[in-house]
Amino acid sequence: MYGSRIAGTGSSVPDRILSNADLERIVSTSDEWIVTRTGISERRIAADGETTSDLAERAGRRALEAAGVDPIDVNLVLVSTVTPDMFFPSTGCLLQDRLGALHAAAFDLSAACSGFVYGLSVADAYLRAGVMRNILVIGAETLSKVVDWKDRTTCVLFADGAGAALMQRTTGESRVLSTHLYADGSRGGQLIIPGGGSRHPISQKVVDENLAKIKMANGNEVFKTAVRAMEEAAVAALKANGVEVSDIDLLVPHQANARIINATAQRLGLPKERIVMNIDRFGNTSAASIPIALDGAVRAGRLKPGDLLLLVAFGGGLTWGSALIRW
Ligand code: COA
């Protein structure tokens, strides 16, 4: 029986650091408010002209290198992003060219902060079905380009970065055990970029009213929904595989807010040492957050063969999901 495994990971963030003190000069906020409410101390922001594909390319190359896979052997470049370089060509196609993945298909996937788990699930299905051997899944964002820098309720949260995983067909025991994906479009308005698409094409009105920027209707509601959704997705993964919380060696959750992560872990009963948290340095990088955190954990030696790894995500759409992986 074919399965899929993560053969290598990589990540990349912009050089430019934006601290909470820097934000104090942009909007009416304070380091103390941001740290206590979100756990974020600083985040990375793309340079002028630095694009999602620039970050994605660096992360993708590192994942390929870690896996020891040549770009020519990649069958699919899948980029999860809500901040593509442009509507089309897809960022996946831009990367297919830049990486020299000459035999690969390429597309983008839009599931906001759940994008990496959604992408991993798609890749797992192709690999398990036996139709592909190597898939490069990348979560990459430059949210700084769609943040309203006058809106203090959102601009302190979001940031830029990219993370990648080279997923490979396998017959071994190290493999993705299950993925669970969920969506509730009826609550999509809670996190939205309303303008710039076919409903409100770019116009003076869209620019004047900041409609092509991130809007968050009710942060507190999003907070509560995120905790419940991540718990639901985690429990579904445990149940489907007949494992207990105590069997989980490492949880890599979407990095939206340290309090959301802590509340989710508390509800699950998972101790802090088994949770990867890097939000203090990177903020919320949407689809990039899980693969950046995962790559950090892999490179820090926090995963050994046989470990049980749980990924849980939540984001705009609304979307949420989980993946349970035998490392
Ligand atoms: N600096 C200072 N004050 C701020 C602020 C900021 N950056 N942003 C909001 N405030 C103010 C509010 O205006 C409000 O003031 P008021 O009481 O005078 O009206 C006060 O702080 C409390 O706001 P509230 O929204 O109740 O705070 P909160 O404890 O819910 O924390 C969030 C706000 C946004 C940090 C929190 O709700 C959150 O993280 N939500 C989830 C957001 C998220 O992760 N979205 C992406 C999901 S993928």
Q: Residue 146's closest CA among 286, 326, 267?
A: 286
Prediction pTM value: 0.97
Q: What is the 273 CA–ligand 1 centroid distance (Å)?
A: 27
For the chain, percent of residues with pLDDT exceeding 70: 100
**Across residues 206-220, what is the average pLDDT?**
94
pLDDT value for 15 = 98
pLDDT value for 215 = 96
Cα Rg of the chain (Å, integer): 19
**Across residues 282-300, what is the average pLDDT?**
98
What is the distance between the alpha carbons of residues 131 and 72, in angstroms, rounded to a whole number?
16
Pair 22, 168 in one domain: yes
**Mean of all residue pLDDT scores within the chain:** 97
CATH code where residue 234 lies: 3.40.47.10
Pair 29, 155 in one domain: yes
Q: What is the 52 CA–ligand 1 centroid distance (Å)?
A: 27
Pair 13, 40 in one domain: yes
**Across residues 42-58, what is the average pLDDT?**
98
Ligand 1 atom closest to the CA of 156, numbered from 1 = 7
pLDDT in tens, 220-255: 999 999 999 999 999 999 999 999 999 999 999 999
Tell me if 220 CB under 6 Å of ligand 1.
yes
CA nearest ligand 1 atom 28, residue = 220
**Across residues 90-99, what is the average pLDDT?**
98
Pair 14, 154 in one domain: yes
Q: What is the 313 CA–ligand 1 centroid distance (Å)?
A: 20
Tell me if 262 CB under 6 Å of ligand 1.
no
**Across residues 299-314, what is the average pLDDT?**
98
Pair 285, 298 in one domain: yes
Pair 159, 53 in one domain: yes
Cβ burial of 228 (10 Å; 0-12, 13-18, 19+) is middle
CA nearest ligand 1 atom 32, residue = 219
**Across residues 77-102, what is the average pLDDT?**
98
> Is residue 254 a contact partner of residue 289, using CB atoms and an 8 Å limit?
yes
109 φ, ψ (degrees, to nearest 5)? -130, 130
Q: Does residue 200 carry a catalytic annotation?
A: no
Tell me if 33 CB under 6 Å of ligand 1.
yes
What's the pLDDT band for 21 if we cut at 50, 70, 90? very high
What's the pLDDT band for 173 if we cut at 50, 70, 90? very high
Pair 279, 131 in one domain: no
Q: What is the 157 CA–ligand 1 centroid distance (Å)?
A: 10
Q: Does residue 113 carry a catalytic annotation?
A: yes
Please give the structure tokens belonging to residue 154: 């959102």
Q: What Å distances lie between residue 198 and 52, 87, 203, 212, CA to CA? A: 22, 11, 11, 12
pLDDT value for 74 = 98
Tell me if 270 CB under 6 Å of ligand 1.
no
Tell me if 153 CB under 6 Å of ligand 1.
yes
Pair 13, 159 in one domain: yes
Pair 144, 211 in one domain: no
What's the pLDDT band for 310 if we cut at 50, 70, 90? very high
Adjacent-strand bridge partners of 147:
none
Ligand 1 atom closest to the CA of 216, numbered from 1 = 45
CA nearest ligand 1 atom 11, residue = 153
Please give the structure tokens belonging to residue 85: 């370089």
pLDDT in tens, 107-139: 999 999 999 999 999 999 999 999 999 999 999
List 20, 113, 134, 257, catalytic entry? 113
Q: Residue 141's closest CA among 315, 324, 302?
A: 315
Pair 23, 167 in one domain: yes
Q: Residue 19's closest CA among 2, 36, 53, 44?
A: 44
If one counts the domains in the chain, the total is 2
Q: Of 172, 188, 214, which residue sits at a domain end?
A: 172
Per-residue DSSP letter, 209: T
Q: What Å distances lie between residue 47 and 16, 52, 57, CA to CA? A: 7, 11, 16
Q: Which residues, including other chains, have CB under 8 Å from residue 266's CB and lie 6 or more apart?
A: none
Q: What is the 160 CA–ligand 1 centroid distance (Å)?
A: 20
> Is residue 260 a contact partner of residue 230, using CB atoms and an 8 Å limit?
yes
Domain of residue 244, residue span: 177-326
> Is residue 101 a contact partner of residue 77, using CB atoms and an 8 Å limit?
yes
Q: What is the 174 CA–ligand 1 centroid distance (Å)?
A: 41
Please give the helix or strand (H or E) that residue 244 lies within, else none: none
Q: Of 172, 197, 232, which residue sits at a domain end?
A: 172
Q: Of 146, 172, 198, which residue sits at a domain end?
A: 172
What's the pLDDT band for 92 if we cut at 50, 70, 90? very high
CA nearest ligand 1 atom 15, residue = 153
Please give the structure tokens belonging to residue 109: 């996937």
Pair 199, 134 in one domain: no
**Across residues 200-209, what is the average pLDDT?**
96
Pair 17, 112 in one domain: yes
| Ligand 1, pocket-test mutation among 37, 147, 230, most atoms within 8 A of CB | 37
- Of the CA atoms within 13 Å of residue 292, those in its CB half-sphere come to 32
pLDDT value for 63 = 98
